[in-house]
A and B are shown apart, each in its own frame.
Chain A
Amino acid sequence: MTQAQIIAARLALLAAVLAAWALLPKYGVLDPRLLPALGDVLEMLVKQLGRPLVHEAIGVTALEVIVAFVIAVPLGAAIGVAAAEFEYFGQIFKPMLFYVFSVPKSIFLPMFILVFGIGFPQKVAYAAFSTVFIVIMSATAAVESVKADHVLVARSCGATRAQILLRVYVPSMFPVLLEALRISMIFNFTGVMIAEMYASRTGIGHLIANWGENYQMPELFAGVILLAVVAICFNEAVRALEARVSKWRT
């Protein structure tokens, strides 16, 4: 199959899914009370996007996602780099980090509510907590992807420690770090959503949970589409950047 054929097949698949969603509920093949037709959902999405309540929820959720991300990524990166660079620190802390990493973070949510309440700080704290471990793991892997040979070459060329960091570590790690950023955002977004759906008075997650409980299916699916589009856009943007900067890795 050529590249063009593969792309055509992908588009056909997407069109088929959307067409099925648009038509099957209309003709009663699927129950429109459980899966409203695509057209009705999109209409609802436009309507919801016009409501101040929804604007406010989007604003709150966006802020939570950003703040949690800005806390979790540098913190996790610092711990991860330290674990890779300082032998004893790594040997002592790595097993513990791996243990905690393997535990589903959502079981800690009730504790976060007890400590932080159900407002903004709880969402941020919980999302940052559920993200930081994947950042630590990725940062460790990124440091370990730096080749000792390259450091030796740089030293033989007269590089100082700062130059080795800037000209060997950073470019070696950059593609791995971008990938880490992308995956961290998935964890981070999920963390905020879970926290909002579990106990909250605002945010998109809260609205979606409400719509579900009240059996407002067009609203529920409008929310799903909104979040899906945002998440896919972020992911693809970082992936495109990744592909650009890691051409040399082939």
Chain B
Amino acid sequence: MSAIEVERLSHVYAGAEGGVPALEDISLKVEAGKFVVIVGPSGCGKTSLLMMLAGLRHQTTGTILCDGRPITDPDPSRVGVVFQEASLFPWLSALDNTEFPLALRGDPREERRRRAEAMLNLVGLQGFGARFPHELSGGMKQRVSIARGLVQDPPVLLMDEPFAALDEQTRMTMGHELLRIWSQTRKTVVFITHSLTEAVYLADEVLVMSPRPGRIVDRITIDLPRPRTYEMMATDTFGKLRERIWQQIRKPEGAH
């Protein structure tokens, strides 16, 4: 059974002059444990698609199944979400931020402490639980966000350009760290990015979306061996894969 199954999903925004088509006839399957990256030009609706996978927004037509059951509302036990920067609550410590979903669910205090601490350890932040977000670097904040996304142990983790606001070096390190966390937890990951290098480096499969209305115009299997290393970025295969994605994205509208 696929971890995620999207069946003929379309979305139309209510605009001033009638509906604006945003997503058109999207179907996709993500096998459990796979790392899928979605790339596409700005405004192609990839974030909207992710929000729908998270149950945070409703599509006009089509269905989304996660673990075989439809997603209609947010369900953090099935789907964890990691947003762009600044999504931590600034009035909570790193530990309290991580526990947040468990606190909403009303888990006993001891239990959720233990679980949140384990998650902070997993993302490499042991000993930083008492720090507040303004006392953490950009990369550390995103580590906390990942810990929070994983704290309910959902099979699926959705990530919306989580490293876009980080500097290049931190971004590379975080990508590498994410792969380590992924290989330890074996989650199904759907990851959105603008960076083609990041896409090829992280993914098992890259889905390329067209400009609005967003459609999936190419699926590229990334057959680079795992674990991935920084050296692979300099190889021909890496360059060719990156080039193929770039060719798809730069195609003018209507050429697909």
The residues of B that contact A171 with a CB separation of less than 8 Å are 89, 91
B104 in the interface (beta carbon within 8 A): yes
B164 in the interface (beta carbon within 8 A): no
Q: When the two chains form the complex, which single residue of B74, B90, B132, B133 contacts A157, counting CB atoms closer than 8 Å? A: B74
The residues of B that contact A250 with a CB separation of less than 8 Å are 134
B196 in the interface (beta carbon within 8 A): no
- Looking at A88-96, A101-109, A147-155, the stretch in contact with chain B turns out to be A147-155
B42 in the interface (beta carbon within 8 A): no
**Contacting residues of chain A (191-250) with chain B, CB-CB under 8 angstroms:** 247-250
Size class of the B contact interface (CB-based, 8 Å): 20 to 34
B233 in the interface (beta carbon within 8 A): no
- Looking at B30-38, B79-87, B114-122, B180-188, the stretch in contact with chain A turns out to be B79-87
B87 touches A153 (CB 8 A): yes
A149, A157, A172, A250 pick with most chain B CB within 10 angstroms:
A157
The residues of B that contact A5 with a CB separation of less than 8 Å are none
Q: Nearest Cβ in chain A — how far from B65, in angstroms?
A: 18
Q: Nearest Cβ in chain A — how far from B23, in angstroms?
A: 19
A157 touches B148 (CB 8 A): yes
A156 touches B86 (CB 8 A): no
* Contact (A167, B132) CB under 8 Å given A156-B81, A158-B75, A248-B90: no
The residues of B that contact A247 with a CB separation of less than 8 Å are 132
A176 in the interface (beta carbon within 8 A): no
Interface of chain B, helix or strand or loop or mixed? loop
Q: When the two chains form the complex, which single residue of B56, B89, B101, B103 contacts A150, counting CB atoms closer than 8 Å? A: B89
* Contact (A153, B83) CB under 8 Å given A158-B74, A248-B91, A248-B132: yes
B76 touches A157 (CB 8 A): yes
Q: When the two chains form the complex, which single residue of A149, A158, A168 contacts B76, counting CB atoms closer than 8 Å? A: A158
Size class of the A contact interface (CB-based, 8 Å): 20 to 34
Q: Closest A residue to B132 by CB, please name it.
A: A248
Q: When the two chains form the complex, which single residue of A149, A158, A159 contacts B83, counting CB atoms closer than 8 Å? A: A149
A248 touches B133 (CB 8 A): yes
The residues of B that contact A147 with a CB separation of less than 8 Å are 86
Q: Closest A residue to B93 by CB, please name it.
A: A248
B226 in the interface (beta carbon within 8 A): no
The residues of B that contact A150 with a CB separation of less than 8 Å are 87, 89
Interface string of A51-75 (1 = CB under 8 A from B): 0000000000000000000000000
B54 touches A158 (CB 8 A): no
Known: A149-B83, A158-B75. 8 other contacts (CB 8 A): A149-B86, A153-B89, A156-B56, A157-B74, A158-B77, A158-B105, A248-B91, A248-B134
Query: Nearest 10 CB-CB pairs, A to B?
Result: A157-B101, A156-B81, A248-B90, A158-B76, A171-B91, A248-B91, A153-B87, A156-B74, A159-B104, A157-B76
Q: List 14 A-B contacts (CB under 8 A).
A: A149-B83, A149-B87, A150-B87, A150-B89, A154-B100, A157-B100, A158-B75, A158-B101, A158-B104, A163-B104, A167-B100, A172-B91, A247-B132, A249-B90
